[in-house]
Chain A
Amino acid sequence: MGFGKFLERVLHLVPVLLGVSVIVFIMMALTPGDPVQIMIGDQAITPEQESALRRDLGLDRPMLERFFVFVGNAVQGDFGESFYHRRPVSEVIAERLPATIELSLVALIFALVTSIPLGVLAAIRKNSIFDRIATVISLLGVSLPGFWFGILLLMLFAVHLNILPVAGRIGYASEIAPITHFLLIDTLLRGRPDAFLDALSHIVLPAITLGLPMTAILMRVTRSSMLEVLQQDYVTFAEAKGLSRRRVLFRHALKNALIPTVSVAAIETGSLLGGNMIVETVFGWPGLGRLVVESIFLRNYPLVQAAVLLYAVTYVLLNFFADILYTVLNPKVKL
C-alpha cells in the first residue's frame, strides 16, 4: 500500500470525527439534567455563586457557540477540563486508558485462543456431540447479557468458592510503581511474580465476561468458513498430494478459513469498547469505561465528548487495521 492510500484513509477520519462530535454534543445537550445542579447537590449556595460556577464551566453561553468552541479547541488537541476533576480531560483519560487497554487485550487474546481451535474442531467433527455442545455454548455466549453473566461469575468464583478477587486491578500488597501502566507487564518488569499472579487473578473474570460474546461470534464464523473451505477443490488436491492431515488442515484449510475470522475479529474488537463500560462497572475495574459511565451520570460533558471521540477514532483505526490484515491473508486483494 502506498503512502497516498494511507493518507486517504487517514483523511476519512475527518468527516467521521466531525459527525461523531455533532451527535455526541447534541445527545449530551438533550439529556435531561444540569451538570451545575448535580455538582451543587445538597449544598446551600447563593444564586450568584451558582451563576459564577456556570460561567466558569462555560455553560452560560448558547449551545451553538459552545459547540464551535469545543470543536475549535479539540482540533488543537485541547478537550477542555473535566467538570468533576477540574483537570484537563486528556490527562484524566490518559490515567484510566491503560487499564482499559489491558483488559481489552486480555479479553481479545482469550477470545482468539478459545474460538479458533473450537471453531476448527467443530467444523472437523461436524454434527458430533462436540459440535452440538459448542453450538449451544456459542449461542449462550452471544445471548447472555454481560452484566448478568459477570455477576454470576463473581458469585461463583469470588463469593462461593472464594478463589478469585471481587473487584479492582490488583491487591494493596501487590501495588508497585508503574512503568508501562500495564500491570501484567509492570509486575514482571519489577520482578514480582507474586504481584503478577495477583494482577492475573483480578483480570481473569472481567476478561472472560468481556471476551465471551466475541468468542461465541468468532467460533461460529471460524466453524462455518472452515466447513466451506474443507469442501474446496484445493483441499482435495492437497490431500491427493499425500500431505499430512495436519498440513492439509492448518496450512491449506485454516489459512483461507481465517480470512473472514480475522476481519470479524478486528471489527468486533471495536465492540469490546462498548462492553467495557458494563464489565468495568460490574467488576469495579478502574478503566475508561467506568469513567465514562460515571461521567455520564455527572453530566461531565467534556469528558464524555472526548471519550466518545476516542472510541470513534479507535473504531475507524481498527477497521483500517482489519483491511490491512485482510490483504496479508488474502493475496488476491490489494488495498
Chain B
Amino acid sequence: MSALLDVKGLRTVFETRAGTVCAVDGVDVEVRRGECLGIVGESGSGKSVTFASVMGLVRSPGRIDAGEILFDGRDLRKLSQKELRAVRGRDIAMTMQDALTALNPALTVGVQLAEVLEAHDETLPRGRRARTRAIRERSAEILGLVGIPSPDSRLSQYPHEFSGGMRQRIMIAIALACRPKLLIADEPTTALDVTIQAQVLELISDIRAKLGMSVVLITHDLGVVAEHCDRVMVMYAGQVVEEGPTTEVIGSPSHPYTRGLLGSIPRLALRGQPIHPIEGQVPDLIDLPAQCRFYSRCADRTDACLTPIAVRQVGPHRKARCILAGEDTQ
C-alpha cells in the first residue's frame, strides 16, 4: 500500500535581508497509514517548517521552492487554495504547541469547534435548525471524547476559562473533529506539566487507535518518541540526518547528532555522572557550504566530511546522512 503522505525533495526558503534562509533543504518524509512518526530535532532544525509546508501554511517571506507533497496520491502543491482548504482540517489536521495562543481568545470553544464541522462535515443535515442542533450535539460528543467533563455546558465558555491541559484537549478535539487521516501534532506537550503531558499523549494514542489515523509527532523529547512512535526521523539544520524504526534508532544510533541527542538526556540510572550536551550551535542557514552540516559540532569529523554528504542506507529500514554509517546508496 502506498504511503499516506509522501514528501519528496521539499525545499522551503525564507527571503530575509541578510540573504535566503534555507529552512528546509531537500527533505523526504514518508508517513504510512496508521503509523506514528516522530520528528526530532532542536529549535531551528526545520521540523515545524516542513509540516507547515505540507499544510500550505508557510507565510511570506517564506515560500516552498521545490519538491512534491503527495497526500493520498495527490500533489498538494498543485491544488488551488480552495482545494487545499478542503484538505486542511478535514484530511490533515494540525495542533500547535501552545493551546493558549492557538485558540482564539475572543470566541467561545463551541464556536471554534462548530466552524470546523460547518466547513467540512457533509453529513450534517441541510435544514438550519436541525443543522445547528446536529453541530451542537457533535461538538459536545467530541469534547466528551477528549475527556472534557460536562461538555454540553462548557461549549459556551471561552478558552481562558479552561486549565492548560483542558485547552490542549480542546485543541486536539478541534483538530480531530472531522476524523482526519493525518494529525500533525507540533510539540503537543512542550507547554504542559509532566503529568498532563502523559495524559495528552495517551489521548492522542487512544484516538489514533480508534480512528486508525496516522500521526506525526513533532517534538524535541526523545523520551516521548521512544514511548509513542513507530518510526522516528531526526532533523538537523534543515535536513533529515537519520531515519528508521524507533527502537533501532534509539538502540543504536548511527548519526553522531542522534548520539549527541541521546547523550544529552539526563537519566536516573546514570545519576551522579555528568550529562554530555552537544557543544556548539546550529549553523547559520544562509549560504551553507556544501559539506556535512554537523561538521563543526561533530566529535568524529574527518576531512572527508567537507564534501556533500548523501543519505546512506544503514539497515533494511534505516537511513543516515553520515559517511561513517552504512553504505552509500548512490
Q: Which of B57, B87, B158 contacts A332 (CB 8 A)?
A: B158
In the complex the two chains form, is A241's CB within 8 Å of B101's CB? Answer: no
In the complex the two chains form, is A247's CB within 8 Å of B105's CB? Answer: no
- Tell whether A256 pairs with B116 under 8 Å between CB atoms, given A331-B160, A332-B158: no
Interface size band for A = 20 to 34
Number of A-B contacts defined by CB within 8 Å: 77
Bound together, the chains give a CA A256 to CA B104 distance in angstroms of 8
In the complex the two chains form, is B94's CB within 8 Å of A240's CB? Answer: yes
Bound together, the chains give a CA A121 to CA B171 distance in angstroms of 30
A252 cross-chain contacts in B, Cβ below 8 A: 104, 107
In the complex the two chains form, is B89's CB within 8 Å of A332's CB? Answer: no
Bound together, the chains give a CA A245 to CA B89 distance in angstroms of 14
Q: Which of B59, B103, B105, B116 contacts A242 (CB 8 A)?
A: B116
Residue of A nearest to B171 (CB): A237
In the complex the two chains form, is A244's CB within 8 Å of B85's CB? Answer: yes
A236 cross-chain contacts in B, Cβ below 8 A: 57, 59, 96, 102
Q: Which of B81, B85, B106 contacts A331 (CB 8 A)?
A: B106
- Tell whether A242 pairs with B104 under 8 Å between CB atoms, given A236-B57, A236-B96, A331-B158: no
Q: Which of A233, A243, A331 contacts B96 (CB 8 A)?
A: A233
Asked if B234 lies at the interface with its beta carbon under 8 angstroms from chain A, I say no
Bound together, the chains give a CA A245 to CA B85 distance in angstroms of 9
In the complex the two chains form, is B57's CB within 8 Å of A247's CB? Answer: no
- Which of B94, B105, B171 gathers the greatest number of chain A CB atoms within 10 Å? B105
Asked if B275 lies at the interface with its beta carbon under 8 angstroms from chain A, I say no
Minimum CB–CB distance from B86 to chain A (whole Å) comes to: 6
In the complex the two chains form, is A239's CB within 8 Å of B57's CB? Answer: yes
Residue of B nearest to A237 (CB): B102
In the complex the two chains form, is B85's CB within 8 Å of A332's CB? Answer: no
In the complex the two chains form, is B107's CB within 8 Å of A251's CB? Answer: yes
Bound together, the chains give a CA A243 to CA B120 distance in angstroms of 9
Asked if B37 lies at the interface with its beta carbon under 8 angstroms from chain A, I say no
In the complex the two chains form, is B119's CB within 8 Å of A244's CB? Answer: yes
A234 cross-chain contacts in B, Cβ below 8 A: 101-105
A residues 282-335 in Cβ contact with B at 8 Å: 329-332
Asked if B55 lies at the interface with its beta carbon under 8 angstroms from chain A, I say yes
Q: How many residues of B contact A (CB 8 A)?
A: 29
Bound together, the chains give a CA A242 to CA B87 distance in angstroms of 7
B102 cross-chain contacts in A, Cβ below 8 A: 233-234, 236-237
Minimum CB–CB distance from B108 to chain A (whole Å) comes to: 8
B120 cross-chain contacts in A, Cβ below 8 A: 242
In the complex the two chains form, is B104's CB within 8 Å of A331's CB? Answer: no
Minimum CB–CB distance from A15 to chain B (whole Å) comes to: 34
Minimum CB–CB distance from B82 to chain A (whole Å) comes to: 9
B86 cross-chain contacts in A, Cβ below 8 A: 242
In the complex the two chains form, is B115's CB within 8 Å of A241's CB? Answer: yes
Asked if B142 lies at the interface with its beta carbon under 8 angstroms from chain A, I say no
Residue of A nearest to B100 (CB): A233
Asked if B174 lies at the interface with its beta carbon under 8 angstroms from chain A, I say yes
Asked if A255 lies at the interface with its beta carbon under 8 angstroms from chain B, I say yes
Asked if A76 lies at the interface with its beta carbon under 8 angstroms from chain B, I say no
Residue of A nearest to B158 (CB): A331
In the complex the two chains form, is B104's CB within 8 Å of A238's CB? Answer: yes
A329 cross-chain contacts in B, Cβ below 8 A: 106
In the complex the two chains form, is B119's CB within 8 Å of A242's CB? Answer: yes
Asked if B93 lies at the interface with its beta carbon under 8 angstroms from chain A, I say yes
- Tell whether A242 pairs with B88 under 8 Å between CB atoms, given A234-B101, A247-B115: yes
Asked if B181 lies at the interface with its beta carbon under 8 angstroms from chain A, I say no
Minimum CB–CB distance from A10 to chain B (whole Å) comes to: 29
Known: A237-B171, A239-B88, A247-B115. 13 other contacts (CB 8 A): A232-B101, A236-B102, A237-B102, A237-B103, A237-B104, A240-B89, A240-B94, A242-B88, A252-B104, A255-B104, A255-B107, A256-B104, A332-B105
Q: List 12 A-B contacts (CB under 8 A).
A: A236-B59, A237-B94, A239-B57, A240-B88, A240-B96, A244-B85, A247-B119, A251-B115, A256-B106, A259-B106, A330-B105, A330-B106
